Amino acid sequence: MNEDQLIGWLRRRTGSRSLGDDAAIVSGTGTWVVTMDTQISGVHFPPDLDPAQIARRLLAVNLSDLAAMGADPAYAFLALAVPSSFDHRRFFTALLRDCRRYRLELAGGDLARSATATAAMTLLGRPAGDRLLTRSAARPGDRLWLGGSVGEAAAGCRLVSRGARIVGRRVDLPREFAAAKNVERAARRAVRRHLSPKPQLALGRWLSACPRGAAIDVSDGLARDLHRLCAASGVGAELDLDRVPVPAELESLAPAVDCEWRDLAIAGGEDYVLLFTLPLQLEPPLHLQCTAVGSIHHGKQVLVRDQGRKARLGARGWDHLEPASTKKAP
Amino acid sequence: MNEDQLIGWLRRRTGSRSLGDDAAIVSGTGTWVVTMDTQISGVHFPPDLDPAQIARRLLAVNLSDLAAMGADPAYAFLALAVPSSFDHRRFFTALLRDCRRYRLELAGGDLARSATATAAMTLLGRPAGDRLLTRSAARPGDRLWLGGSVGEAAAGCRLVSRGARIVGRRVDLPREFAAAKNVERAARRAVRRHLSPKPQLALGRWLSACPRGAAIDVSDGLARDLHRLCAASGVGAELDLDRVPVPAELESLAPAVDCEWRDLAIAGGEDYVLLFTLPLQLEPPLHLQCTAVGSIHHGKQVLVRDQGRKARLGARGWDHLEPASTKKAP
């Protein structure tokens, strides 16, 4: 397919009239929430990753930003730059399926060729509840919450970089992991967690109906994103590591990927769960499976309590401007 | 600078509160126009191009899409993925200067590292006049217009790929062009035209106040973009090549870059002038320097009249999905 043929195919599949024009026209009164996130071959995913998985992950990490704002998805824009061998049809079939699932309209974008596959996405969302969530709304006395477990995605990232893949519905592991029965199940879970993050839109929606509280999605590491939330709110925090939800299997899996489970949990990143604060009297409903993991305090110190001992928590995690070689070891 | 430091610097420079949050909040009633366009090292610009010029060109090609819709710029979002050696400060200083010039707020985006420098931009604009322009509004009997000359940018692209650069305010040419006095001036103009396109926002604004007429910006070649306008409107057209504004110097410059001037003008692309239609009784004001270049007809045929002879006009120009090696020779 050439460019005009692909755009024609997309217009027929989506029914969108704006695809193929110079820009899209988006109507409706009130506030929009706009986010933009990128997935790059060799940085966020291995060059041979299935285009369908690239599409789904790209959409999921962008949706996670809308979840962290308490917004519902509405429109997607995609800039896709890929080598000539790239399977556009497979990419777009998966993308459009998930767009339907999340009630998103793919409304425009840009196609180009590039030696390094790069996919940038912009999402426009609408406020889901009475208020939008920000990082700056945490107040001393708030409880600190996590919307899910952390650490597995970072282990999964390491497994994928060693060759693990999802093929159909099956996770294919590198031979050394497939052979080790005690870590096999944990490894499969971790690969799924890394390649198929689940944006916490329902949690974001619930939070947006609460009168107060800050939120951020954990993409660059729990420690780093907690530091960002504290800095934006002008508060300190105490994270209780014993309460941070970490899957039991991660303890056996971590050494197999040459890591410590604590480091994966605290600084691994790409968990795409919400880290949020609520006044003491508010608790998320049980079905959202959130865990209280600490508290917000006056001052600027970010502390971690680990097996009864308190220490300063460094702002460890991903820095997107540092070269891979100097990426801070989690 | 690491990521958080750079975002802090950008927040201080822009005064934008949304930079650094998970998403930006954009308020205001009514219609938004959304466009997204990418610039990629080795595809749209040479790897050693000055980051300031990458920034300005990225913004200009995106603004050209808003111009083609009859929209005024409002918000910009940037996904920048670059090697660790990239001069972010130089890029953003130039970008923010042009954002101020066009009354745009840089409201969000995403930073990453990548071996191939890739910059994707999303712009949100507001309708400038009573209506938005589309490609599909051309009607038989309309006159066809061009907002400026074509062909020079494509010659400039070839010069830049041979080493021509803008350094400060000076155009540095490869030795063979600097030595040839008869093409030197034309070559400098062509390089400027390629590296510093001027989005025709004033023309888009004027057109959006007209009761009718279609518009597209010439980015992929006059012939290809005319075919797109005709296909979207369900009409045919006749392009009068003798009337198409081509700078006189291009005739001497074209052979020096191993091209025919006609091919550069018809299929070169990246001219970023508006191609538009108006009912016969309407003419753009003189100061917008537009030229009538043909007419719109019933049917589907796109014809070109060249020195009195009529022929079919092929849809020649850029196809963004074709590998560079098979790019249709203009």
Report how far residue A91's alpha carbon sits from residue A143's, in angstroms, rounded to the nearest whole number: 41
CATH number of the domain bearing residue B109: 3.30.1330.10
Q: Are residues B110 and B142 in the same domain?
A: no
pLDDT bracket for residue B317 (50, 70, 90) = low
Boundary (domain end) residue, out of B84, B99, B127:
B127
Q: Are residues A76 and A152 in the same domain?
A: no
Q: What is the pLDDT at residue A308?
A: 85
Mean pLDDT across the stretch B207-216? 96
Q: Are residues B120 and B140 in the same domain?
A: no
Closest CA to A124 of B75, B10, B270, B185: B75
Are A23 and B323 a contacting pair at CB < 8 A? Answer: no
Boundary (domain end) residue, out of B76, B99, B127:
B127
Q: Are residues B112 and B197 in the same domain?
A: no
Q: What is the pLDDT at residue B321?
A: 57
> Is A183 within the bounds of a domain?
no
Asked if the model's pLDDT at residue B87 lies above 90, the reply is: yes
Query: A170: which 2 tokens?
Result: 């099956």
Q: Are residues B172 and B107 in the same domain?
A: no
> Is A13 within the bounds of a domain?
yes
Cα A313 to Cα A143, A242, A267, A310, B119: the distances in Å are: 17, 14, 10, 9, 34
Q: Are residues B102 and B200 in the same domain?
A: no
Are B118 and A81 a contacting pair at CB < 8 A? Answer: yes
Which of A3, A38, A132 faces B81 most closely, judged by CB atoms? A38
Q: Are residues B147 and B285 in the same domain?
A: yes
Reported in sequence order, the residue ranges of A71-117 that DSSP labels E, i.e. its strands, are: 71-82, 105-113
Asked if the model's pLDDT at residue B301 lies above 70, the reply is: yes
Q: Are residues A213 and A111 in the same domain?
A: no
Amino acid (one-letter) located at A94: A
- Contacts with B84 from chain A: Cβ below 8 Å: 321-323
CATH number of the domain bearing residue B269: 3.90.650.10
Q: Are residues A122 and A266 in the same domain?
A: no
Boundary (domain end) residue, out of B86, B105, B127:
B127
Domain count, chain A: 2
Are B118 and A113 a contacting pair at CB < 8 A? Answer: no
pLDDT bracket for residue B17 (50, 70, 90) = confident
Whole-prediction pTM: 0.91
Phi, psi of A217 (to 5 degrees): -95, 140
Which one of A5, A22, A320 makes the best mutation probe of the B interface by having the most chain B beta carbons within 10 Å? A22
Phi, psi of A92 (to 5 degrees): -75, -30
> Is B277 within the bounds of a domain?
yes
* B256-298 confidence digits (pLDDT tens): 999 999 999 999 999 999 999 999 999 999 999 999 999 999 9
Rg over CA atoms, chain A: 20
pLDDT tens, chain A, 330 aa long:
788 888 888 888 887 777 777 788 887 778 999 999 999 999 899 999 999 999 999 999 999 999 999 999 999 999 999 999 999 999 999 999 999 999 999 999 999 989 899 999 999 999 999 899 999 999 999 999 999 999 999 999 999 999 999 998 899 999 888 777 778 999 999 999 999 999 999 999 999 999 999 999 999 999 999 999 999 999 999 999 999 999 999 999 999 999 999 999 999 999 999 999 999 999 999 999 999 999 999 999 999 999 889 999 988 766 655 544 333 333
* B64-76 confidence digits (pLDDT tens): 999 999 999 999 9
Mean pLDDT, chain B, whole residue set:
91
Q: Are residues B101 and B225 in the same domain?
A: no
In angstroms, the separation between the Cα of residue A215 and the nearest Cα of chain B is 9
Q: What is the pLDDT at residue A138?
A: 97
> Is B214 within the bounds of a domain?
yes
Is-contact A256 A180, C-beta < 8 A? yes
Mean pLDDT, chain A, whole residue set:
91
Q: What is the ipTM of this complex?
A: 0.89
Domain that holds residue A121: 3-127
Mean pLDDT across the stretch B123-149? 95
